[in-house]
């Protein structure tokens, strides 16, 4: 059972530090938690992040983190979910954990009539730009080097596991100013288009999207 906390809009760095502190001090009996929040504008770099993927940060701060992956953007109108789990107690490994995080996003999108897609080797969830509801398998001119032809990224994923315990998590774009994504190579891919629910015709609130995502995560992350 996840203890869910809706934090609202909170600064990124103190939240990151709080996740680290929670994970470092938790015991074997510490309850798992799920933090739902949004952040003021910030670019975050993962451990694999390269400076040249930040094209023009402007006045938006860039924060180096210890999560996996490359650079991404957080901002108002995005639901950020941080599951703080003891994976050993839950009974599954990191690969399964990532699958469950992505599946929660896919089921959240399905709630809104949108089909989410996985792309091999590129964590996160993507939607078809021409037909967001399409269930058809991904085919077409996408190449091995650039598998995103016709797709837009709607959710980013980056995690850290320390002593079998997870932090960081997944971010779902709901109704954002997407312009800052053009200032980076999202997740290290030049030209990768980023979308949100609003862009693809879904009208919902941050509170509602957060509630749905929280429910899906709670169901899928249970031991």
**Tally of domains in the chain:** 1
Res 120: pLDDT: 85
101 lies in a domain? yes
Res 146: pLDDT: 63
Q: Which of 187, 192, 200, 220 is catalytic?
A: 187
Q: Are 19 and 50 within 8 A, CB to CB?
A: no
Q: What is the CATH number of the domain that holds 103?
A: 3.30.930.10
Q: Measure the CA–CA gap between 18 and 221, rounded to whole angstroms.
A: 21
Pairing of strands 122-128, 165-173: unpaired
27 lies in a domain? yes
Res 62: pLDDT: 96
Q: Which two tokens stand for residue 165?
A: 């315990």
Res 143: pLDDT: 47
Q: Are 16 and 158 within 8 A, CB to CB?
A: no
Give the structural domain span for 23. 3-113+155-190+202-220
Q: Cβ–Cβ contacts within 10 Å for residue 206, how many?
A: 19
150 lies in a domain? no
List the 62-64 sheet strands across, edge first.
62-64, 42-45, 72-74
Q: Are 126 and 115 within 8 A, CB to CB?
A: no
142 lies in a domain? no
Q: Is 187 part of the annotated catalytic residue set?
A: yes
pLDDT digits over 93-138, tens only? Answer: 999 999 999 999 999 999 999 999 999 888 999 999 999 998 877 6
Res 188: pLDDT: 83
128 lies in a domain? no
Res 187: pLDDT: 80
Res 135: pLDDT: 82
Question: Among candidates 130, 131, 151, which has minimal Cα distance to 142?
Answer: 151
Which residue(s) pair with 123 in the sheet?
Answer: none
Res 121: pLDDT: 84
Which residue(s) pair with 54 in the sheet?
Answer: 184
Res 144: pLDDT: 57
Q: Are 167 and 84 within 8 A, CB to CB?
A: yes
88 lies in a domain? yes
71 lies in a domain? yes
pLDDT means over runs of 10, the chain (223 residues) = 94 98 96 98 92 94 94 97 97 95 98 95 92 78 65 96 96 98 90 95 98 97 86
Res 49: pLDDT: 83
DSSP state of 51: G
144 lies in a domain? no
């Amino acid at each position: 059972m996840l203890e869910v906390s809706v934090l609202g809009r909170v600064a990124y760095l103190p939240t990151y530090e709080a996740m680290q502190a929670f994970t470092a001090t938790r015991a074997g009996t510490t309850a798992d938690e799920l933090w739902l929040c949004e952040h003021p504008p910030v670019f975050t770099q993962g451990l694999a992040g390269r400076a040249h993927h930040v094209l023009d940060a402007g006045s938006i701060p860039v924060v180096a983190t210890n999560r996996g992956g490359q650079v991404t953007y957080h901002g108002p109108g995005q639901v950020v979910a941080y599951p703080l789990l003891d994976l050993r107690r839950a009974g599954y490994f990191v690969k399964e954990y990532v699958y469950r995080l992505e599946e929660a996003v896919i089921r959240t999108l399905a709630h809104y009539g949108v089909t989410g897609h996985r792309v091999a080797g590129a964590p996160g969830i993507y939607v078809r730009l021409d037909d967001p509801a399409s269930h058809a398998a991904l085919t077409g001119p996408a190449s091995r080097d650039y598998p995103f032809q016709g797709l837009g990224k709607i959710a980013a994923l980056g995690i850290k596991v320390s002593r079998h315990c997870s932090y960081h998590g997944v971010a779902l774009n709901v109704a954002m100013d997407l312009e800052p994504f053009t200032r980076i190579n999202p997740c290290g891919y030049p030209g990768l288009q980023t979308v949100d629910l609003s862009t693809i015709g879904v009208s919902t609130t941050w509170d509602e999207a957060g509630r749905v995502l929280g429910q899906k995560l709670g169901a899928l992350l249970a031991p």
